[in-house]
Amino acid sequence: MPRIELPGDRHVELPEGEPIGSILPPEAVAARFDGELVDLSFVPSGDGKAEPVELSESDGLHVLRHSAARVMAQAVCDLFPLARYAIGPPVEDGFYYDFDLPEALTPEDLPRIEARMAEIVAANQPFVREELSRAEALERFADQPYKREIIESLDETEGALGERVSVYRNGAWSDLCLGPHVPSTGRVGEAFKLLKVAGAYWRGDERRPMLQRIYGTAWASRADLESYLTRLEEAERRDHRRLGQQLDLFSSPEELGPGLWVWHPRGGVFRKQLEDYVRELHLARGYDLVVTPHIARSVLWETSGHLAKYADNMYPPMRSESGDYYVKPMNCPFHVLVYKSRTRSYRDLPMRLAELGTIYRHERIGTLHGLLRIRGGTQDDSHIVCTPEQLVDEIRSVFDLTLEILGTFGFADPVINLSTLPGQSIVDEEMAARATQALRSALDASGLAYTDAEGEGAFYGPKVDFHFRDAIGRLWQLTTVQVDFALPERFQMEYVGEDNRRHRPVMIHRAILGTLERFSAVLIEHYGGAFPLWLAPEQVWLAPVADRHLEHARGLAERFRAAGLRVYVDDSGETVGKKVRAAQLMRAPYTLVIGDREVESGALTVRDRSGAETKGVPVERFIEALVAEASSRSLEQTRW
RNA sequence: GCCGGUGUAGCUCAGUUGGCAGAGCAGCGGUUUCGUAAACCGCAGGUCGUCGGUUCGAGUCCGACCACCGGCUCCA
């Protein structure tokens, strides 16, 4: 009789052949046996440690969603008998399943599938785990080519089953699946919803067939489902494309071309604040600002290796009598030319060349997405040229600057990845190892936690990425730091050392915000369009009650402008209610209603974004407070 | 690039089985001069994404193209 250890240091004897679920609480949807996720029907062959897996933990939700995916596939097969089903894993917040169907699914099919799922759930069919030999499994899935391909491609080392594969059967339907699953379809419950249909390549490979993917979500309770759907709505309200339109910040007219954007006056003001801040801070941290053109001869891109490794993402060349010119997809070769414009001494190093450099990349049309994925954008780019000895300290100073800049916007606690070199690189292994080691040392020395991501680096070197969480918990990749031994080599970069001999420097590529376009999109979503005062297009919005108050309002506006504040006077002749509404819709930080009271008293009535109103604020105090709030780049509104 | 969806006024969207292109908001003009998220009246605004086809007749049906939206990493 296996002796099972339960949480709380309890031990029970499990009768031979009894499933582990029989000694776990009824809330359990699965179990963990010696750390492995298993079904409740799992029968231990020996002693071990068992824990219940419940819906209150992520493993429990994972199992629930996996099972929900199965139920969905079953429903689809019921409704579309010709369906061939491929894979259906749980994903963050939900699940999907990929199908090969003769007809195209439409969003209208989703309610039908959901209804069928509900029937399957109501039927409460047990999920029965079976272990079959490969031959049996191939037989079982004779008319399911995707399942057969998976079975055939399974390598014996995969899973603990060796030559056997596991199949879960419920009712007349079965699926090849590792499991575990909830004990029966009834446990999937009613807190699920199908969200969208999309295309997806079989095994993510664009040379393989395009399947139809249905995304769904499933939760422990109705309330959890509702709050998830509310979260989705909140994300939609914050969508930078929608806010960009509503707030009149930018647009991408069709005549311009996909992935290209024009910034309107309100967006332009915001962007200037960003740019000024970035430039100012870089100067203060020992960077030098440089300016470089948008195009260069092909020889530059040959030397840099871009034509060999990056040509797919570059616009085709412009031909002229002096040769072919390419629009730049990166700034690095230009900064190398700045470096090489004269003989450099070790005394010049580190040289930190920075530029808000505009680049153009011919991204595939289907991957473009608002300002987040664009074809033309401006990076806060810098290339630090230093000696190998300076490398780790320089990387650390980039990390410091990253935390400082992003902290200003309210981003903290980055999730950091160290990406090692991809196969297709222009760097030899020894260089790559040194570069990776430098990044690792800098991360360790800075006390930053990180995880390794293999093969994700740029073609010229390994990199460290910083991801930051926004106000509603989504992660955005912003900062990239790359160490590069290759370009200095390719461009024969040198410096004269203390020993009066020539040495090869190392180069760090880094962008902290990424592109300003992308970063702006992230900021807009992070703030929901309600920018902190220093970034707001209008800082003070004046709403005169009647036309006779316009003159007083204009006088105030002049005083505010003289103090360096950005002001808008609503002289529309609409009602105050309408003016206040307009100000709120445009996310004005401070709205001043100017009427008889204000004209007489000379004081201000201040309305902030929350709608809270303070009467009798002296003009001088208001100006002082706003100037302080803006110049400190505060994320909080002033309390009066 | 591929799969699916969507393109009607500046914006958000109606538009029956093919039969004279609509509303609200925004804009402009007038009236109102008002105290905190939408005053009233009027005017103007369109090659219905583009090109081609079917038809007596196309926003509507067919084809091609363009653009946008959702996806194409999560591996039985």
The question of whether A282 is a catalytic residue gets the answer: no
pLDDT tens-digit map of A321-367: 989 999 999 999 999 999 999 999 999 999 999 999 999 999 998 89
CA of A132 to C1' of B71 (A): 34
Query: Which bases of chain B come closer than 7 Å to a protein CB?
Result: 1-5, 11-12, 26-27, 31-39, 66-76
pLDDT over threshold 90, residue A107:
no
**A198: nt with nearest C1' to CA:** B71
Q: Is the peptide bond before A350 cis (omega within 30 degrees of 0)?
A: yes
Closest protein residue to B38 (Cα–C1'): A578
Q: What is the pLDDT of residue A99?
A: 95
pLDDT tens-digit map of A210-230: 999 999 999 999 999 999 999
How wide is the angle at C-alpha A65 spanned by C-alphas A138 and A97, nearest 5°? 50
pLDDT over threshold 90, residue A610:
yes
Give the span between the Cα atoms of A327 and A311, in whole angstroms.
11
Q: Tell me which amino acid residue A242 is.
A: R
Query: Tokens in use for A437?
Result: 């080691």
**Cα separation values, A228 from A188, A224, A342, Å:** 17, 6, 59
Q: Which of A39, A98, A175, A381 is catalytic?
A: A381
Phi, psi of A587 (to 5 degrees): 60, 40
Query: Tokens in use for A80?
Result: 């579309």
Every domain of chain A and the residues it spans: 3-53, 67-236, 282-527, 540-631
Look-up: residue for tokens 């004990």? A183
Task: Output the average pLDDT for chain A.
Answer: 92
Q: In which band, very low, low, confident or very high, does the pLDDT at A1 lie, cut at 50, 70 and 90? A: confident
Instruction: Identify any residues that bridge with A450 across adjacent strands, giving them in sequence order.
Output: A416
Q: Tell me which amino acid residue A42 is.
A: F
pLDDT tens-digit map of A306-330: 998 889 899 999 999 989 999 999 9
**Cα separation values, A434 from A160, A426, A460, A462, Å:** 38, 15, 13, 10
pLDDT over threshold 60, residue A160:
no
**A200: nt with nearest C1' to CA:** B72
Q: In which band, very low, low, confident or very high, does the pLDDT at A425 lie, cut at 50, 70 and 90? A: low
**A242: nt with nearest C1' to CA:** B11
Q: Kindly state the percentage of chain A with pLDDT values over 90.
A: 77
Q: In which band, very low, low, confident or very high, does the pLDDT at A161 lie, cut at 50, 70 and 90? A: low
Cα A594 off chain centre by: 43
pLDDT over threshold 70, residue A457:
no
CA of A580 to C1' of B32 (A): 18
pTM value is 0.93
Q: In which band, very low, low, confident or very high, does the pLDDT at A467 lie, cut at 50, 70 and 90? A: very high
Q: What is the pLDDT of residue A162?
A: 62
Query: Tokens in use for A609?
Result: 């974004």
Look-up: residue for tokens 């990387």? A395
Fold matches, A3-53 and A67-236: no
CA of A317 to C1' of B48 (A): 39
* Number of helices followed by number of strands (H, E) in chain A: 18, 33
Q: What is the pLDDT of residue A456?
A: 65
Q: Which of A379, A390, A482, A539 is catalytic?
A: A379
Look-up: residue for tokens 């699914």? A105
CA of A72 to C1' of B19 (A): 46
CATH number of A282-527: 3.30.930.10
CA of A32 to C1' of B31 (A): 76
Burial (Cβ within 10 Å: 0-12, 13-18, ≥19) of residue A223 = exposed
Q: What is the pLDDT of residue A461?
A: 77
CB A219 within 8 A of CB A93: no
Radius of gyration of chain A (CA): 31
pLDDT tens-digit map of A500-538: 999 999 999 999 999 999 999 999 999 999 999 999 999
Length of chain A: 640
The question of whether A181 is a catalytic residue gets the answer: no
Q: Which of A65, A383, A526, A552 is catalytic?
A: A383
Q: What is the pLDDT of residue A28?
A: 92
CATH number of A67-236: 3.30.980.10
Q: What is the pLDDT of residue A458?
A: 66
How wide is the angle at C-alpha A87 spanned by C-alphas A169 and A79, nearest 5°? 65
Q: Which of A629, A618, A635 is nearest to A564 (CA)?
A: A629
The question of whether A639 is a catalytic residue gets the answer: no
Give the span between the Cα atoms of A358 and A376, in whole angstroms.
7
**A594: nt with nearest C1' to CA:** B35
Q: Which of A306, A361, A518, A607 is catalytic?
A: A361
CATH number of A3-53: 3.10.20.30
Instruction: Identify any residues that bridge with A479 across adjacent strands, giving them in sequence order.
Output: A466
Lowest-confidence segment of A33-37, A105-109, A257-261 by average pLDDT: A105-109
Cα A409 off chain centre by: 16
The question of whether A332 is a catalytic residue gets the answer: yes
Closest protein residue to B5 (Cα–C1'): A106
Q: What is the pLDDT of residue A444?
A: 95
In A457-501, the DSSP E strands lie at 463-469, 475-484, 495-496
pLDDT over threshold 60, residue A156:
no
CA of A96 to C1' of B76 (A): 14
Closest protein residue to B3 (Cα–C1'): A199
In this structure, which topology does domain A540-631 adopt according to CATH?
Answer: Rossmann fold (3.40.50)
Q: Tell me which amino acid residue A22 is.
A: S
Q: Any idea what DSSP says for residue A235?
A: H
Q: Which of A177, A332, A335, A526 is catalytic?
A: A332
Phi, psi of A542 (to 5 degrees): -100, 125
The question of whether A386 is a catalytic residue gets the answer: no
Q: What is the pLDDT of residue A426?
A: 58
pLDDT tens-digit map of A22-66: 889 999 999 999 988 999 999 888 888 999 999 999 999 999 999
CA of A35 to C1' of B76 (A): 21
The residues near A10 (Cβ < 8 Å, ≥ 6 apart) are: none
Phi, psi of A445 (to 5 degrees): -65, -30
Give the span between the Cα atoms of A526 and A425, in whole angstroms.
35
Give the span between the Cα atoms of A11 and A443, in whole angstroms.
44
